[in-house]
């Protein structure tokens, strides 16, 4: 099986290399045969990487511990769904997985565009395959998952197969951890497609909005996956790591946030190019930045260059990534400079208060966030290089920068879409913003009366109310107009309104999801926690909750042994049920971990951890957190996900436009023929 996998990798590498050459030459010589051949190479690349994936996954599921990767990351008693996830649990496997996702995106990009974008496609294939060359060679030469264990004995090197593997890291044995890495990777990898289209557009000088229209969904899909992956990671941290929070500004977390921020800026600023023909250079810069940060994120996560709580093995892939990043940057930026004259703006900014400037502000603020987070993340490396001393910055730095930036963005989330293109009159401002401001003032006053004095939390909730009213008002106004003219009932009108322009109203739903996220973030300000030693009958109090320990039991499963504490939770004397946090000792990896138990409600979570046993008294150490509004973070994530899907549904307007374009093209071709 290991031979099959290695052969698959080598063949994939060869096909990818061929795809680069054939694609570039085919585009240059305008040879359709060569381009077709390059496209088939992209398909073959996918088939060969799939072969390698199958070869590795078969060994994982079949407990073949002769394979070093399987021996290091799996064990016999691991449940099936975790075994599947072993594929992306370690360095080698996850790089192979990355490559596989790239081959899927590449294959799909070729398949879906084979009759369109004839000029761009040869170069798109070449660039995607160039990325493929890098990742398949890293996987084959540097971090090969098909290494076999062997021992040197008197008779020479002997194959070696341990009886059982080391087991999957217990911290990774959690349901959302099975899908978190694939989601994140689908995000990281997917941005390769818009990047490839942008580069192809630069090479061919086809710099109209065609590449942007083509890659709209190719950008939204990875953006959605990346965002979902980040939230699932937060969910995992919250439910598994046991420190009561979901985001700690760890370098690995930051690495995933950076391309998401840059991608968000890109998603917004392309709209200005489509509508007004502006910001062409800027869009290219943003797509380069996003792709660069995706690779950089993979590099940061995988190389161990920045010390992180969940840093994985230190490894030797760092220099290769650094070189690849250098090449990407050099190639794309020089290409951009060579084509600057083709990227002139067709229009100018008319007014400070317009949709365009709203987008511009959004872009600048997002990029400021990218810069600040990036700076804090890589500061240990910079200070080491410049000063010779490693200086790290912690959560206070990130929070100080991110909170005001986040609140500004939240404001724009509501205000931006209500501004008119070109110039917004004072009357229209008053018409659109009276109700949202009134709503926000009412909510803000209510919060103040309720005793909320934390400035940022108050501001956040105030703005949430403002933005929510902005969005709901848009739906309401649109639906009322339809009702007056078409005689539909209100719900029908909302539905038809949304389906007529899914991009706009899907976008609003995404914005609503962001509002809910901020409601959840604001709750952080009111977290309460306590800690105590407990045995049967003891009680712990936090806020108006009381937790009474009714029993402590021990047990055993094939995968782990456990100790479990039963806590009867009540609030103001009213019983709310029991929570049973436990502490597990995983046999294969010989590691203890705590499993938290959470009682979640829309208002607040009661979060309990069995942190260990006090060595002196033998009592259980129990930590309790009360986290207000956390549930809204996950709900906001769902709404955002749903809104993004909605924004991708082909809208009626879009279909009409596409038909019009097609008719035009037919007419042009007909006139050319004459």
Task: Return the residues of window 216-245 that contact other proteins according to CB under 8 A.
Answer: 243
Using CA atoms, how far apart are residues 609 and 392, in angstroms rounded to an integer? 29
Q: Which residues contact 553 (CB under 8 A, 6 or more apart)?
A: 563, 564, 566
Cβ proximity to other proteins, 2 vs 283, nearer residue: 2
Within 10 A of 103 (CB to CB), how many other CB atoms are there? 29
Indicate whether 148 belongs to the interface with other proteins (CB under 8 A): yes
Cβ proximity to other proteins, 157 vs 670, nearer residue: 157
In whole angstroms, how close is the CB of 575 to other proteins at the nearest point? Answer: 27
Using CA atoms, how far apart are residues 299 and 312, in angstroms rounded to an integer? 12
Indicate whether 554 belongs to the interface with other proteins (CB under 8 A): no
Using CA atoms, how far apart are residues 242 and 47, in angstroms rounded to an integer? 41
- Tell which one of 401, 437, 525, 552 touches other proteins (CB under 8 A): 401
Indicate whether 614 belongs to the interface with other proteins (CB under 8 A): yes
Q: Which stretch binds other proteins (CB under 8 A): 197-205, 517-525, 568-576, 612-620?
A: 612-620
Indicate whether 162 belongs to the interface with other proteins (CB under 8 A): yes
Cβ proximity to other proteins, 359 vs 462, nearer residue: 359
Within 10 A of 489 (CB to CB), how many other CB atoms are there? 10
Indicate whether 155 belongs to the interface with other proteins (CB under 8 A): no
Indicate whether 277 belongs to the interface with other proteins (CB under 8 A): no
Cβ proximity to other proteins, 334 vs 347, nearer residue: 347
How many residues interact with other proteins (rule CB under 8 A)?
A: 71
Cβ proximity to other proteins, 171 vs 333, nearer residue: 171
In whole angstroms, how close is the CB of 340 to other proteins at the nearest point? Answer: 19
In whole angstroms, how close is the CB of 512 to other proteins at the nearest point? Answer: 25
Instruction: Note whether 374 and 299 are within 8 A (CB).
Output: no
Indicate whether 475 belongs to the interface with other proteins (CB under 8 A): no
Using CA atoms, how far apart are residues 420 and 359, in angstroms rounded to an integer? 12
Cβ proximity to other proteins, 298 vs 594, nearer residue: 594
Cβ proximity to other proteins, 208 vs 592, nearer residue: 592
In whole angstroms, how close is the CB of 361 to other proteins at the nearest point? Answer: 7
Two tokens, residue 147: 């290494």
Residue in the structure block whose two tokens are 């995000």: 187
Indicate whether 405 belongs to the interface with other proteins (CB under 8 A): yes
What is the DSSP-derived secondary structure letter of residue 309?
T
Beta bridge partners of 548: 539, 568
Indicate whether 455 belongs to the interface with other proteins (CB under 8 A): no
Beta bridge partners of 528: 626
Indicate whether 350 belongs to the interface with other proteins (CB under 8 A): yes
Cβ proximity to other proteins, 405 vs 648, nearer residue: 405
In whole angstroms, how close is the CB of 591 to other proteins at the nearest point? Answer: 7
- Tell which one of 150, 496, 527, 578 touches other proteins (CB under 8 A): 150
Q: Which stretch binds other proteins (CB under 8 A): 98-106, 153-161, 264-272, 464-472?
A: 153-161
In whole angstroms, how close is the CB of 234 to other proteins at the nearest point? Answer: 19
- Tell which one of 54, 372, 459, 525 touches other proteins (CB under 8 A): 372
Write phi, then psi, for 431 (nearest 5 degrees).
-60, -45
Indicate whether 351 belongs to the interface with other proteins (CB under 8 A): yes
Write phi, then psi, for 406 (nearest 5 degrees).
-60, -40
Q: Is 117 exposed, middle or buried (0-12, 13-18, 19+ CB in 10 A)?
A: buried
Under rule CB under 8 A, which residues in 288-347 are in contact with other proteins?
Answer: 307, 309, 311-313
Q: Which stretch binds other proteins (CB under 8 A): 271-279, 367-375, 490-498, 627-635?
A: 367-375
Under rule CB under 8 A, which residues in 99-138 are in contact with other proteins?
Answer: none
Instruction: Note whether 226 and 263 are within 8 A (CB).
Output: yes
Using CA atoms, how far apart are residues 582 and 562, in angstroms rounded to an integer? 7
Which helix (DSSP H) or strand (DSSP E) does residue 248 occupy? none
Q: Which residues contact 323 (CB under 8 A, 6 or more apart)?
A: none
In whole angstroms, how close is the CB of 670 to other proteins at the nearest point? Answer: 42
Using CA atoms, how far apart are residues 327 and 345, in angstroms rounded to an integer? 28
Instruction: Note whether 110 and 45 are within 8 A (CB).
Output: no
- Tell which one of 156, 396, 537, 573 touches other proteins (CB under 8 A): 396
Indicate whether 360 belongs to the interface with other proteins (CB under 8 A): yes
Indicate whether 389 belongs to the interface with other proteins (CB under 8 A): yes
Terminal Cα-to-Cα distance of the chain (whole angstroms): 60
Cβ proximity to other proteins, 423 vs 599, nearer residue: 423
Indicate whether 191 belongs to the interface with other proteins (CB under 8 A): no
Within 10 A of 450 (CB to CB), how many other CB atoms are there? 7
- Tell which one of 131, 239, 377, 593 touches other proteins (CB under 8 A): 593
CA 269 vs. chain centroid, Å, equals 19
Give just the sign of the alpha carbon dihedral 652, 653, 656, 658: negative
- Tell which one of 43, 580, 612, 642 touches other proteins (CB under 8 A): 612
Parallel, antiparallel or unpaired: strands 620-628 and 604-613: antiparallel
- Tell which one of 29, 32, 340, 352 touches other proteins (CB under 8 A): 352
In whole angstroms, how close is the CB of 483 to other proteins at the nearest point? Answer: 39
Cβ proximity to other proteins, 330 vs 371, nearer residue: 371
- Tell which one of 81, 364, 448, 455 touches other proteins (CB under 8 A): 364
Indicate whether 153 belongs to the interface with other proteins (CB under 8 A): yes
In whole angstroms, how close is the CB of 105 to other proteins at the nearest point? Answer: 28
CA 168 vs. chain centroid, Å, equals 23
Q: Which stretch binds other proteins (CB under 8 A): 161-169, 510-518, 563-571, 641-649?
A: 161-169
Instruction: Note whether 490 and 498 are within 8 A (CB).
Output: no
Of the candidates 636, 632, 571, 572, the one whose C-alpha atom is nearest the C-alpha of residue 602 is: 632
Of the candidates 438, 442, 422, the one whose C-alpha atom is nearest the C-alpha of residue 430 is: 438
In whole angstroms, how close is the CB of 456 to other proteins at the nearest point? Answer: 12
Within 10 A of 80 (CB to CB), how many other CB atoms are there? 8
Under rule CB under 8 A, which residues in 490-549 are in contact with other proteins?
Answer: 531
In whole angstroms, how close is the CB of 296 to other proteins at the nearest point? Answer: 20
- Tell which one of 58, 169, 492, 496 touches other proteins (CB under 8 A): 169
Q: Three-state SS for 74?
A: coil
Give just the sign of the alpha carbon dihedral 599, 601, 606, 609: positive
- Tell which one of 621, 624, 639, 646 touches other proteins (CB under 8 A): 621
Beta bridge partners of 597: 608
Indicate whether 600 belongs to the interface with other proteins (CB under 8 A): no
Indicate whether 630 belongs to the interface with other proteins (CB under 8 A): no
What are the residue ranges of helices labelled H in 30-120? Answer: 32-61, 68-73, 80-85, 91-112
Q: Which residues contact 34 (CB under 8 A, 6 or more apart)?
A: 22, 25, 26, 122
Q: Three-state SS for 352?
A: coil
Under rule CB under 8 A, which residues in 29-88 are in contact with other proteins?
Answer: 68, 71-72
Cβ proximity to other proteins, 141 vs 448, nearer residue: 141
Indicate whether 166 belongs to the interface with other proteins (CB under 8 A): yes
């Amino acid at each position: 099986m290991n031979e099959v996998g290695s052969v698959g990798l080598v063949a994939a590498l060869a096909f990818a290399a061929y795809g680069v050459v054939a694609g570039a030459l085919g585009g240059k010589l305008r040879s359709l045969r060569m381009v077709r051949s390059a496209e088939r190479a992209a398909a073959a690349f996918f088939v060969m990487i799939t072969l390698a994936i199958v070869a590795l996954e078969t060994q994982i599921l079949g407990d073949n511990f002769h394979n070093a990767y399987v021996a290091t990351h799996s064990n016999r008693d691991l449940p099936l769904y975790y075994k599947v996830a072993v594929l992306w649990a370690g360095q080698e496997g996850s790089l192979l997985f990355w490559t596989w996702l790239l081959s899927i995106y590449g294959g799909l990009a070729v398949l879906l565009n084979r009759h369109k974008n004839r000029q761009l496609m040869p170069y798109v294939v070449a660039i995607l395959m160039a990325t493929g060359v890098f990742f398949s060679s890293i996987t084959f030469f540097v971090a090969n998952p098909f290494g076999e264990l062997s021992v040197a004995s008197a008779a020479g090197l002997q194959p070696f197969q341990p009886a059982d593997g080391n087991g999957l890291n217990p911290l990774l044995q959690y349901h959302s951890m099975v899908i978190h890495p694939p989601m994140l990777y689908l995000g990281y990898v997917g941005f390769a497609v818009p990047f490839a289209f942008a580069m192809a557009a630069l090479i061919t000088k086809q710099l109209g909005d065609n590449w942007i229209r083509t890659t709209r969904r190719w950008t939204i899909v990875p953006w959605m996956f990346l965002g979902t992956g980040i939230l699932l990671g937060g969910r995992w941290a919250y439910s598994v790591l046991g420190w009561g929070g979901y985001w700690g500004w760890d370098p690995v977390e930051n690495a995933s946030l950076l391309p998401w921020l840059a991608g968000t800026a890109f998603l917004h600023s392309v709209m200005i190019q489509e509508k007004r023909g502006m910001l062409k250079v800027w869009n290219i810069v943003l797509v380069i930045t996003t792709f660069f940060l995706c690779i950089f994120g993979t590099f940061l996560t995988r190389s161990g260059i920045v010390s992180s709580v969940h840093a994985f093995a230190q490894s030797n892939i760092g220099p290769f990534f650094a070189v690849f990043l250098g090449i990407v940057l050099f190639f794309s930026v020089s290409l951009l400079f060579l084509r600057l004259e083709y990227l002139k703006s067709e229009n100018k900014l008319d007014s400070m208060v317009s949709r365009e400037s709203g987008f511009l502000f959004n872009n600048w603020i997002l990029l400021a966030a990218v810069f600040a987070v990036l700076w804090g993340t890589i500061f240990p490396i910079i200070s080491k290089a410049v000063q010779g001393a490693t200086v790290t910055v912690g959560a206070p730095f990130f929070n100080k920068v991110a909170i005001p930036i986040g609140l500004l963005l939240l404001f724009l989330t509501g205000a931006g879409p209500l501004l008119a293109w070109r110039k917004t009159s004072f009357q229209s401002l008053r018409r659109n913003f009276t109700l949202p401001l009134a709503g926000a003032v009412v909510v803000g006053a209510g919060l103040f009366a309720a005793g909320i004095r934390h400035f940022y939390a108050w501001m956040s909730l105030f703005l949430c109310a403002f933005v929510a009213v902005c969005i709901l008002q848009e739906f309401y106004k649109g639906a009322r107009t339809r009702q007056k003219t078409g005689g539909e009932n209100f719900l029908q009108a909302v539905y038809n309104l949304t389906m007529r322009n899914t991009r706009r109203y899907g976008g609003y739903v995404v914005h609503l999801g962001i509002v809910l996220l901020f409601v959840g973030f604001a709750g952080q300000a009111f977290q309460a926690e306590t800690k105590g030693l407990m045995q049967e009958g003891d009680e712990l109090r936090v806020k108006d909750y009381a937790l009474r320990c009714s029993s402590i039991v021990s047990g055993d499963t094939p995968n782990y042994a456990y100790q479990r504490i039963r806590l009867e939770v009540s609030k103001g004397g009213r019983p709310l049920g029991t929570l049973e946090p436990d502490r597990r000792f995983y046999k294969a990896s010989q590691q203890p971990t705590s499993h938290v138990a959470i009682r979640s409600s829309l208002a607040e979570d009661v979060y309990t951890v069995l942190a260990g046993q006090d060595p002196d008294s033998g009592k259980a150490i129990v930590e309790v957190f009360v986290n207000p509004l956390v549930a809204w973070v996950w709900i906001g994530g769902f709404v955002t996900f749903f809104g993004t899907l909605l924004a991708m549904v082909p809208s009626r307007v879009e279909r009409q436009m596409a038909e019009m374009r097609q008719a035009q093209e037919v007419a042009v071709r007909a006139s050319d023929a004459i």
